[in-house]
Chain A
Amino acid sequence: MGFPPEILLEAALNGLLTGAVYGLVALGLTLVYGVLHIINFAHGALLTAAMYAAYVARTAFGLDPYVAALPLAGLFFLLGYAVQRLVIGPASRGRDENILLVTLGLSIIIENTMLALFRSDTRSIDLPYAMEVVAFGPTLLSWPRLVGFGATILVALLLFLLMSATATGKAIRAVAKERTGAALVGIDVAHIYAVTFGIGTACLAIAAALLLPSFYVSPRVGNAFVLVAFTIVVLGGMGSVIGALLGGLIIGVVESLSGLYLGDSLGQIGIFLIFILVLLVRPTGLFGARA
């Protein structure tokens, strides 16, 4: 089954653009893992909540999702900070398996709250630019995806600056490397944990705003992305920011091409084959530190 080169090119580019937003979702997950050493099962539910927030910002206040992205990021940073500081931190009592259950419980509560508030209908918003395309050589690229790609790169750069050039960034890295040592030199570990969780949640809010123009929202929509995000985190290396981004791009292209060749019903096979292969051949992922 041969496809003309321009079709293959377009599928690959589509995958690259979609993969960037996958990477952004994975970024939050990998950051929280890298610093707090916990797997956040509420990640998908928080993404769903963020998508509903962007939906409400549009339908109730008439805010364009791209405009709403910044205030939503701030709002979700505070939300993430509070959740870690007031719920996950105290409830964990220092035990990782508690955290697993707490985040799982949180995801159930968030999902069902959304179900109660918005019912199980699939909702989408219609924006004038949602179907705009940009001609790129022989291919037509969707405008919302291009914006998503650009915004993701921007967010990644900002995050990189934050981590390398600010005192908070240094503190986050210190806590990630050596929690006890960081505490001994006067870093407030509980605060840094909450800040990290807040940053991860803010990434989700931006991803949600980037997804909404071309995607729908329903109470379980986050799960579709989070499964992919877990694969990306494993591929890129648990805790690696660059790994999450690159992993996202790779997974996006793999998904798009296997969807093209195998059909969309079977397309996800490619992603999970990679998941298994990475675990078998290189369990630390592309950029993961040796355990």
Chain B
Amino acid sequence: MAKFEIGRRGAMLATAGVLAAPGLARAQVPAVRLGILQPVTGALSQDGEYGRLGAELAINEINAGGGIRALGGARIEMVFGDARSNPEGGVAEVEKMQAEGVVAVVGGFASPICLAASQAAARYDLPYVVDVGVSDQIVSRGLANTFRFGPGFGVVTTTALDNLVALNDAAGKPARTVVIVHEDGLFGSGMARLLNAELPKRGFEVLETIAHPTPARDMNNVALRIRSLRPDLVIPSSYYAEFVLLSRTMQQQRIRPKGIYCVLNGAASNFRFVREFPEAANLVMDCNHWADPRKPKTQELRRQVEAQNRFWLYNIPLNYSAVMLVADALERAGRADRAALIQALAATDGAFTRHIMPYGPTRFVNGQNQAAVPVNTQVQNGDIKVIFPREFADAQPVFPVTG
């Protein structure tokens, strides 16, 4: 009897403690584990590091704001995996995350990693949100678990071509001839094929299509061929190091086309490139992922990132938004259950506003956000300015480039 009384007193004390410290009560709600997959070693490590940063910013913000309310204020706990810049690494990490009981996986960065990792996640009905991976194959395999908030290859290329025509028309059609330079992998070759089919329909003549390997030892031959062809426009699709090498070699060889117009380029809208090689970067245009400059949150995050002495790269807003998407879906699902989360993700609509991308109301069809669009940027005097769409452009395009 005496024992029982002590037990009751203990329980009452505990209740009092909980009432006095709500933070303690929240700590007792089990945390939701979220897998963050990024290549932080190997050739893609720069992108991977910035992807992780974006996810961390979102998770910290959610936790500081009281966690997931629908789950009693559950905190989000990051389970990080290094995809080691290859698909096998991505798959291995998804298996580990599955064993650790994550509710969803966000990230992947490169298309081949996203393809393999999302397929591995599909075996466990584990929701997978792609951060960047632009290959449209990713969302056309009928995998119910795979979602992509950002735009794919097809949409980006169409937008890029439409904007190119608009740009050229507005300047009085100074550009007619084009040389395409591309890396010879899945991403660059696919892009070159698409451009070769579409450019002639829009009044451009493709003089030549030049492939180069990744990594490339030297860009002199590519530059020499461009010099001998004298195109009005150069359209490169390459990863970071190769485009930096190409633009610097073109600068060295004094090749000055009327415009360098990139599509999904790894460097052209990257502040590292702009800071390190301002002359080579100046006036380069790119059609790529970009955060919405009109949203106050974008400016706030950018200041936060730059205060850490890091660059503002598109990987940050894309991963931030993808994590916010999962958090939003968890709120609506009301439980940390994979099937419920997949349903909630698929049902996302315009009420999801915590992302910072310049997209209209979210609507998923077969896992692809129909509202996702790219943005055209141009490097102008050491800064990256938005030149299209006109609704939120903060600079006029400088085209054709003279001198």
Contacts and interface: CB of A to CB of B under 8 A. Distances in A.
B241 A264 contact: no
A121 B227 contact: no
Given A120-B43, A122-B241, A133-B252, A264 B216 contact: yes
Given A131-B248, A133-B253, A264 B222 contact: yes
B45 A140 contact: no
A137 interface: no
Given A215-B217, A264-B218, 15 more contacts: A7-B227, A7-B228, A11-B220, A120-B45, A133-B252, A216-B215, A218-B215, A224-B217, A256-B221, A260-B225, A263-B210, A263-B211, A264-B213, A264-B216, A265-B211
Contacts of B41: 119-120
B184 interface: yes
B45 A259 contact: no
B11 interface: no
Interface of B: 41-43, 45-46, 85, 184, 210-213, 215-218, 220-222, 224-225, 227-228, 241, 248, 251-254, 276-277
A75 B97 CA distance: 47
A126 interface: yes
Contacts of A3: 224-225, 228
A267 interface: yes
B231 to A, nearest CB: 14
A142 interface: yes
Nearest to B222: A264
A131 B251 CA distance: 8
Contacts of B85: 120
Contacts of B42: 120
A14 B220 contact: yes
Nearest to A257: B221
A119 B84 CA distance: 11
B212 A263 contact: yes
A136 to B, nearest CB: 13
Scoring B215, B217, B277 by chain A CB atoms within 10 A of each residue's CB, the highest score goes to B217
A259 B221 contact: yes
A64 interface: no
A4 interface: yes
A125 to B, nearest CB: 11
Contacts of A267: 221
Given A7-B227, A14-B220, A133-B253, A264 B212 contact: yes
B245 to A, nearest CB: 9
A18 interface: yes
Contacts of A132: 252
Scoring A11, A216, A265 by chain B CB atoms within 10 A of each residue's CB, the highest score goes to A265
Nearest to B211: A265
Interface in A257-291: 259-260, 263-265, 267
Given A120-B42, A120-B43, A264 B221 contact: yes
A260 B43 contact: no
Contacts of A263: 210-212, 221
Interface string A187-198: 000000000000
Contact of B220 (A121, A224, A256, A265): A256
Interface in A91-105: none
B228 A122 contact: no
Contact of A265 (B212, B227, B241, B254): B212
Interface in A179-237: 214-216, 218, 224
A3 B213 CA distance: 22
Contacts of B251: 131
A215 B244 CA distance: 12
A265 B43 CA distance: 18
Contact of B252 (A126, A140, A259): A140
Scoring A11, A132, A216, A264 by chain B CB atoms within 10 A of each residue's CB, the highest score goes to A264
B192 to A, nearest CB: 12
Nearest to A268: B213
22 contacts: A11-B220, A14-B224, A119-B45, A120-B85, A121-B46, A126-B276, A140-B252, A214-B218, A215-B217, A216-B241, A256-B221, A259-B221, A260-B221, A263-B210, A263-B212, A263-B221, A264-B210, A264-B212, A264-B216, A264-B221, A264-B222, A267-B221
A208 to B, nearest CB: 15
A121 B241 CA distance: 11
Given A120-B42, A131-B251, A260 B217 contact: no
Contacts of B276: 126
B5 to A, nearest CB: 62
Scoring B85, B216, B221, B228 by chain A CB atoms within 10 A of each residue's CB, the highest score goes to B221
B254 A140 contact: yes
A111 B210 CA distance: 33
Given A7-B227, A259-B221, A140 B241 contact: no
List 3 tightest A-B contacts by C-beta distance, closest first: A259-B221, A264-B212, A7-B228
Contacts of B216: 264
A133 B254 CA distance: 10
A7 B224 contact: yes
Interface in A74-112: none
A51 to B, nearest CB: 13
Nearest to A132: B252
A130 B114 CA distance: 37
Contact of A11 (B43, B46, B211, B224): B224
